[in-house]
């Protein structure tokens, strides 16, 4: 486990486990997928660009020697109809017995205000609402855990349900990204509470949810200024504090494989949570607010065509 800098932890054995993970075509998602496969997991990878997914699949097969280690399916998080179709295909691939881990790594940063195929502000669509829809659709098939990559950017995010998609103005990269990640933290908290309450019942499944901040990682998400020259400058200036994608995957892998309290928030232990080894992180007061979490979760569910949280599932504490 020295490659992950977890010398004090045993190496996970995921033989016989099935993992569904978005975002495996690039960056830390690609590195996380490879490590999960090396630990024995079978992977189902929903990808937007099939050719990039094939490259990742070939690398995993080459490095693990397991030809059946990876199955690909098409899914575009910027289009809710594609998410629904992708979920149906995943259900066919895994069968009625389901799968063990659902991991959301895919994300986007936009240079200007853009909207998804459904008219939703793009970062909110891809980073928050599509993962919620995919999770809720596949949740009956999950046997063990849901892992959602959020971000400490949630600490500068704000919620405005009167204008959630910045249609009346106020959009900036910082504001849009922060809101998308705070929305993720809030629906994640609400679902984690719901799963915890369900697990304590007589028919509880024991499924939990973990939230992750990967830290500052050198991936293509940094290339969002709109200027190639400025993108290169940002990359070079931040390189001394940034982690490689391989090291950045550590917090995702830790959250996916280690015994943790339900609803934990995991990320690097270094200054500003920019780099380091996985540990428990603090979250903002807004991200901990159970009433705001319920309100935002119900709004998000309605945005993607799901009913509000089932009656009797009030898990506020």
Catalytic residues: 177
Q: In what order do the strands lie in the sheet with 70-74?
A: 70-74, 42-47, 18-22, 99-104, 142-149, 208-212, 265-268, 278-280
Kindly list the distances between the CA atom of residue 85 and the CA atoms of 7, 89, 96, 267, in Å, as whole numbers in the listed order: 41, 6, 17, 32
Beta strands in 3-69 (DSSP E): 18-22, 42-47
DSSP reduced 3-state for 53: helix
Number of neighbours of residue 311 by Cβ within 10 angstroms: 7
- The partner residues of 280 in beta bridges, in order of sequence, read 266
Residue 20 in contact with residue 99, Cβ under 8 Å? yes
Largest pairwise CA distance in the chain: 59
């Amino acid at each position: 486990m020295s490659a992950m800098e977890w010398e004090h932890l045993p190496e996970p054995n995921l033989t016989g486990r099935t993992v569904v993970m978005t975002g495996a075509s690039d960056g830390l998602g690609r590195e996380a997928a490879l490590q999960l496969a090396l630990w024995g997991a079978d992977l189902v990878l929903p990808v937007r660009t099939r050719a990039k997914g094939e490259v990742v699949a070939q690398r995993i097969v080459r490095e693990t020697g397991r030809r059946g280690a990876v199955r690909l399916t098409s899914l575009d998080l910027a289009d809710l109809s594609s998410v629904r179709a992708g979920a149906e295909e995943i259900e066919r691939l895994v069968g009625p017995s389901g799968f063990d881990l659902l991991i959301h790594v895919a994300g986007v940063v936009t240079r200007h205000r853009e909207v998804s195929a459904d008219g939703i502000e793009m970062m909110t669509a891809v980073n928050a609402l599509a993962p919620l829809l995919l999770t809720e659709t596949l949740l009956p098939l999950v046997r063990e855990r849901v892992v959602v990559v959020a971000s400490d950017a949630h600490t500068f995010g704000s919620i405005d349900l009167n204008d959630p998609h910045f249609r009346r103005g106020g959009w900036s990269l910082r504001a849009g990204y922060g809101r998308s990640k705070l929305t993720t933290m809030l629906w994640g908290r609400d679902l984690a509470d719901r799963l915890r309450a369900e697990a304590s019942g007589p028919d509880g499944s024991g499924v939990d949810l973990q939230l992750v901040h990967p830290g500052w990682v050198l991936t293509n998400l940094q290339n969002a200024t709109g200027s190639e020259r400025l993108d290169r400058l940002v990359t070079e200036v931040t390189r001394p504090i940034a982690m490689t994608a391989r090291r950045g995957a550590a917090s995702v892998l830790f959250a996916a494989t280690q015994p943790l309290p339900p609803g934990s928030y995991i990320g690097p232990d270094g200054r500003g949570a920019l780099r380091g080894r996985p540990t428990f992180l603090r979250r903002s007061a807004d991200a901990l607010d159970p009433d705001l979490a319920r309100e935002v979760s119900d709004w998000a569910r309605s945005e993607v065509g799901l009913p509000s949280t089932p009656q009797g599932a009030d898990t506020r504490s």
